[in-house]
Structure 1
Amino acid sequence: MKAHLMYADADFDVSTNLPGHYDDLDRDLELGTLLTAMAGGDDYVYDISHRALMLGLHRADQVQFRQEVLQDCLRDPEAIRELYALAGEAIHRERRIYGGLTRGFPDAVLRHAIEVMRLFDEMLTRVRDVAAEHAGSFTSTGMTTLCQSLRTELDDEYLDSIREHLSQLKFDHGIQMSAELGRGNKAAGYVLRLPNDAHLPWWKRMFERDRTGFSFRIADRDESGAQALAELRGRGVNLAANSLAQSTDHILSFFTMLKTELAFYVGGLNLHDALANAGADVCFPEVAAGDTDLDASGLYDPSLRLTSSDHVVGNDIEANAKRLIVITGANRGGKSTLLRSVGVAQLMFQAGLYVPARKFRASLCDGVFTHFKREEDAGMVSGKLDEEMARMSDIVDRLTPSGMLLCNESFSATNEREGSEIARQIVTALLEAGVRVLYVTHMFDLARSLEFDNSDDGLFLRAERLDDGGRTFRVRPGKPLPTSFGEDLFNSIFGAGSTPNSGRSAAVTIDKVQVDHADG
């Protein structure tokens, strides 16, 4: 019996290694806030949700399969949470059943397996009953198949047979087994058998038992004989003990996978509740037919929405058949936020989740990669430009032609002329290789050259700035401008109309503006 809630024909493999750049994704896209909301205080839900985001889907049918299961979960969240709790309870209680040092002692193995199977009998019955109670709420292939399997494979007749077998395995009246002579006239081919009268009622077994045949009795002090008899009994019991232990392992693996796959959907429910409480919109995205499509309305950064008390502005993007998106404009105008919004939405989309937008349609990609600027720290063994180049080299080694790269002020650690030329060559090579690139930059030389080279298959956006210097945090189509309005920052720090009155104060002012300017 399989859960198969993450894939139609396979289990969710928790042993799969995460991509080597997952730390960069966590940091640059600020996924910690998102995952904390999904976890709802459950570390297991956090881990599985993280894995699902990092190990995205690459086929439209797989995305649709998960979306349909999640839609079922949203229709009946109580059933999903109860099934998840039952699976976790079964695993927890199995661990508390003391197995002791059972290896090499068939009777001990059998006793432990019987106790575990009795527990699983109870838990399977409860899971089946919950699924049967809520089956009418589900329409997805994943949930309906699971409910059907629980109903047909765990019917009353099957569960009654389990209980009957467990009763027989107590061997209250001893065991009956057969063997044959092997090489050297030694016993071989041991087979545990049902007593001949096992099918009879207890009163007939008591009064009609055939007592003919050969028998022998071991003396009370015959320790060697008792040990030989125990070993003989162990050979027979071992067959049943191993079979029952394998059965309990199989059922335990079902509960484990059920908990694992439901954990992802519980995370989806938790995040949905958190965003709904914050008054945020979500939608189930569509898979675009093209290879380089992105069409979104009201797209926002969910981590910012969950942590900010201020109104979070959503943005619209129409970048169908556009392999390059360049975002320029005023500092602190929402450029980096939009870039994170796209990255998070793509990860959620390819995990089979809803996305933070009113509408979202995009092409699938082979992986999302980020190259964001890093602040200098004592752990760096080289300069910032060298560090940026090394990180880009690692990314290029992992990128495939259908990958997506998000760059935020990359190569701004050097002067604009050198940084623009480095970035231009890298972006041009990636575009020629088929990679989709989204680039936030304040370097006018870079933006202008990319616009000149990619006027047909590029989209150029600009953070909106009002005439009075105010920010709307909306990003709209617009050509790059040769300024990022550093004067606005100067005025916000020193007040409108202020001017530096000495060489020293001027240097301090310029340095301050440059730092804030680099923060975008």
Structure 2
Amino acid sequence: MTTAAGFASILFDDPADRAGIDARHEPDVFGDLNLDQVVAAVTRGRETYNLAPYFYTPVHERTVGYRHDVLRELQQPDVRGAVTEFAKQMRAVRRHLEQVKALYYQRQKQLWFLDAIHLYSQAVTGLTDALGELKLRSHGLKGLHAFLQSYAAGPEFSDRATEAGRLREQLTTIRYTIDIRGDRIRVGRYADEPDYSREVTDTFARFRQGEVKDYRASFQDLADLNRVEATVLQYVANLHPDIFDAVAAFVSRHGGFLDPVITDFDREVQFYLAWIDYVGLLGTHGLKSCLPVVSTASKQTRVRQAFDVALADKLTQNDRPVVCNDVDLDGDERILVISGPNQGGKTTYARMFGQLHYLARLGCPVPGARAELFLPDGLYTHFERQEVATDLHGKLEDDLIRVHRILEHATGDSVVIMNEIFTSTTLEDALFLGERIMDRLLELGCLGVYVTFVEELSRMGEATVSMVSTVDEHDAAKRTFNVVRRDANGLSYALSIAQKYGLTYDTLKERIA
């Protein structure tokens, strides 16, 4: 269980698992499964947090459970509200620190830095108090709150927050006068001189007749000072050296005021918030997502109303319907062999299967109303690629090299997805090669999907399950994009091809007549 002393990450129950996180590269399967598109969509608007490395890092079963608990709690409005407000305040802190780097005048830098410390103190105190009022259950958020309580009560944080507040209060009490004569400016101490602007306003107030058009010109509020403003600020500092020197000394002492655990939390929690926002958006289109029941022991797979996330994102943006499908693997069943007409949803189903298992290994919500999924030790894909003119070997050779590499690394606990391979060879050769690959996959006992036009591969034993992409029962040329558990017979595919080229019995009879 996470403790105050041991808490370091809201994403990893064992902080050692995130070592080198920012050096991670996009996995090879991302392109085949369109997961690169999914990550781009989920993280849109959160680019400053650099969340992609977390999507490149699958985690073990214990961490998946850790993340599920945090996700469930963050879906509660009060918990999410507290974290969202903290994130908003931390963005203001970062903007202040970025502005400090961009500013030129030293006195102004110090004042912006002081404000950054004050905002940071408010953010930490606010989150600590807000979480303290909630009944937290997840180890992650309970550990965070315990850490924050200890951190906020420590003398370093509390003394710094108190001093920052006192200095800002002293700065607000400073009053001064500016005497402008031609091109000369004189800055002096305020000695209860009358406020002429207020007197002018009061004098003409009696002539005011309702709301009038505002003819005042608006000026751009720039953070940086011009030379005149900077000179005035320096003169004011000269008039009140005690306060400004105290600010300078304070800023010098607290240059590294940001705690790494807190800044890491600020970044990592966006992983959860991004997913909550994204699945919420999909939910407005009737698409369901869930936290799956996961296991590293049972390979039973059961998902209801699943869909290809990347495709769904594109379709919903254009108000087009998304077709959902189910997944079932029971007992000794391991490989889904999918056949059927072209453009019928076979590849989409294969991508969906891969997305389900990869997202499950991230501890993320998966597309579907409910799901039971095996957590694989690795995910391997082979999708058809276009031939490149500079390649020194042909497409068949390229397929064989890639498949060989997959079978070298896959284990019985892997997920393997083969999509439309050996399309460049004869049916006889495709059958021969396909049977050899299926023999190896079945020997390994791994889970997988094999999309093929060779229907014989769906009848290689109890471990294979025949799936068929279906067509409309009233119009065989119309795809439904439903992939169902059914024996492959090729009739629907043959009929759709015949209709496409005008070779059905009725068409031929009509043409002959």
- Whether 1:436 and 2:447 are equivalent positions in the alignment is yes
2:93 and 2:119 in contact (8 A); partners too: no
Determine the C-alpha separation between the residues in 1 that align with 2:496 and 2:137.
Answer: 55
Determine the C-alpha separation between the residues in 2 that align with 1:113 and 1:315.
Answer: 59
Tell me by how many angstroms 1:356 deviates.
Answer: 0.8
2:90 and 2:123 in contact (8 A); partners too: no
1:84 and 1:258 in contact (8 A); partners too: no
2:437 aligned partner, one-letter code:
I
- Give the structure 1 partner of residue 384 of structure 2: 373
- Give the structure 1 partner of residue 212 of structure 2: none
**CA shift in 2, pair 1:379/1:15, >3 Å:** farther
- Give the structure 1 partner of residue 213 of structure 2: none
Structure 2 residue corresponding to 1:124, chosen from 109, 121, 126: 121
1:90 aligned partner, one-letter code:
V
- Give the structure 2 partner of residue 37 of structure 1: 41
Secondary structure of the structure 2 residue equivalent to 1:368? strand
1:441 and 1:447 in contact (8 A); partners too: no
1:249-328 pair list within 5 angstroms? 251-288=258-295, 290-308=297-315, 309-321=319-331, 322-328=333-339
Secondary structure of the structure 2 residue equivalent to 1:485? helix
Tell me by how many angstroms 1:99 deviates.
Answer: 11
CA deviation vs aligned residue, 1:293-334 (integer Å, no higher than 9, x gap) = 211111111222222233222222220232222122233332
- Give the structure 1 partner of residue 367 of structure 2: 356
1:70 aligned partner, one-letter code:
L
- Which of structure 1's runs of 4+ aligned residues deviate more than 6 A? 112-115, 164-167, 240-243
**CA shift in 2, pair 1:486/1:374, >3 Å:** farther
1:60-99 pair list within 5 angstroms? 61-76=62-77, 77-98=80-101
- Give the structure 1 partner of residue 428 of structure 2: 417
2:93 and 2:116 in contact (8 A); partners too: yes
Note the aligned Cα RMSD (angstroms). Answer: 3.7
Determine the C-alpha separation between the residues in 2 that align with 1:16 and 1:362.
Answer: 28
Determine the C-alpha separation between the residues in 1 that align with 2:125 and 2:161.
Answer: 16
Tell me by how many angstroms 1:121 deviates.
Answer: 5.2
CA deviation vs aligned residue, 1:144-168 (integer Å, no higher than 9, x gap) = 221232123203865342357899x
- Whether 1:488 and 2:493 are equivalent positions in the alignment is no
2:157 aligned partner, one-letter code:
L
Tell me by how many angstroms 1:113 deviates.
Answer: 11
Tell me by how many angstroms 1:422 deviates.
Answer: 1.7
CA deviation vs aligned residue, 1:66-100 (integer Å, no higher than 9, x gap) = 01111222213333333333334434433443499
Tell me by how many angstroms 1:381 deviates.
Answer: 3.8
1:288 aligned partner, one-letter code:
S
Determine the C-alpha separation between the residues in 1 that align with 2:443 and 2:111.
Answer: 63
Q: Relative to structure 2, which stretch is displaced further, 34-43 or 463-472?
A: 463-472
Secondary structure of the structure 1 residue equivalent to 2:350? helix
Determine the C-alpha separation between the residues in 2 that align with 1:460 and 1:33.
Answer: 29
- Give the structure 2 partner of residue 506 of structure 1: none
Determine the C-alpha separation between the residues in 1 that align with 2:399 and 2:300.
Answer: 28
**CA shift in 2, pair 1:428/1:6, >3 Å:** same
2:76 aligned partner, one-letter code:
R
1:341 aligned partner, one-letter code:
M
Tell me by how many angstroms 1:261 deviates.
Answer: 0.8
- Give the structure 2 partner of residue 456 of structure 1: 462
- Give the structure 1 partner of residue 157 of structure 2: 159
Tell me by how many angstroms 1:372 deviates.
Answer: 0.8
1:408 and 1:439 in contact (8 A); partners too: yes
**CA shift in 2, pair 1:283/1:98, >3 Å:** closer
Secondary structure of the structure 2 residue equivalent to 1:348? helix
- Give the structure 2 partner of residue 388 of structure 1: 399
- Give the structure 2 partner of residue 54 of structure 1: 56
Q: Relative to structure 2, which stretch is displaced further, 390-399 or 274-283?
A: 390-399
1:462 and 1:475 in contact (8 A); partners too: yes
Tell me by how many angstroms 1:484 deviates.
Answer: 6.1
Determine the C-alpha separation between the residues in 2 that align with 1:88 and 1:381.
Answer: 52
1:293 and 1:320 in contact (8 A); partners too: yes
Determine the C-alpha separation between the residues in 2 that align with 1:495 and 1:255.
Answer: 69
What are structure 2's unaligned runs of at least 5 residues? 166-249
1:190-269 pair list within 5 angstroms? 248=257, 251-269=258-276
Determine the C-alpha separation between the residues in 1 that align with 2:259 and 2:482.
Answer: 52
2:305 and 2:325 in contact (8 A); partners too: yes
Tell me by how many angstroms 1:414 deviates.
Answer: 1.2
Determine the C-alpha separation between the residues in 2 that align with 1:64 and 1:310.
Answer: 35
**CA shift in 2, pair 1:133/1:368, >3 Å:** same
2:117 and 2:164 in contact (8 A); partners too: no
2:86 and 2:123 in contact (8 A); partners too: no
Tell me by how many angstroms 1:389 deviates.
Answer: 1.9
Determine the C-alpha separation between the residues in 2 that align with 1:139 and 1:490.
Answer: 61
Tell me by how many angstroms 1:30 deviates.
Answer: 1.7
Determine the C-alpha separation between the residues in 1 that align with 2:462 and 2:288.
Answer: 32
Structure 2 residue corresponding to 1:5, chosen from 7, 10, 14: 10
- Give the structure 2 partner of residue 476 of structure 1: 484
Secondary structure of the structure 2 residue equivalent to 1:90? helix
Secondary structure of the structure 2 residue equivalent to 1:154? helix
1:91 and 1:252 in contact (8 A); partners too: no
Tell me by how many angstroms 1:494 deviates.
Answer: 5.4
What are structure 1's unaligned runs of at least 5 residues? 101-107, 168-239, 501-520
Q: Relative to structure 2, which stretch is displaced further, 392-401 or 455-464?
A: 392-401
- Give the structure 1 partner of residue 169 of structure 2: none
2:419 aligned partner, one-letter code:
N
2:481 aligned partner, one-letter code:
F
Secondary structure of the structure 2 residue equivalent to 1:461? strand
Tell me by how many angstroms 1:407 deviates.
Answer: 0.9
Secondary structure of the structure 2 residue equivalent to 1:413? coil
Determine the C-alpha separation between the residues in 2 that align with 1:484 and 1:413.
Answer: 23
**CA shift in 2, pair 1:17/1:384, >3 Å:** farther
Secondary structure of the structure 2 residue equivalent to 1:97? helix
Tell me by how many angstroms 1:377 deviates.
Answer: 4.0
CA deviation vs aligned residue, 1:408-441 (integer Å, no higher than 9, x gap) = 1122221121122222212322332343221111
- Give the structure 2 partner of residue 503 of structure 1: none
1:91 and 1:256 in contact (8 A); partners too: no
